[in-house]
Amino acid sequence: MVAAIGGILITIGAALIMRGLIYIAALVYLIADVCWMIVAYQTSNLFGIVTITIGTIFGFIAFMKMHSGRFYKTIIKGD
């Protein structure tokens, strides 16, 4: 059940990115990561728990930088 919720959240996050709602999508992805950590714990996958936790920490740091305005990137080449 948790894996299904994680998959649905990833799909919602991708749809939010298509609409340009990057901050909300990043938050949805972080919630989905928690679901995948639970799945890794339930299957006793220690490597999965460690790698998902590290990725979630980096994702949370990037989200906080975006939210505070210190992480400004653009896809326009001239900027």
Identify whether 57 is part of a domain: yes
Q: Is residue 78 part of a domain?
A: no
Helix (H) / strand (E) containing 43: none
Residue 28 C-alpha from the chain's centroid: 6
| Domain limits for position 18 | 2-68
Q: CA–CA separation, 26 vs 31, rounded Å?
A: 9
Give the pLDDT of the chain (79 residues) as one tens digit per residue: 888 999 999 999 999 989 988 888 888 999 999 999 999 999 999 999 999 999 999 988 888 887 777 766 665 666 5
Predicted pLDDT of residue 31: 93
* Number of domains within the chain: 1
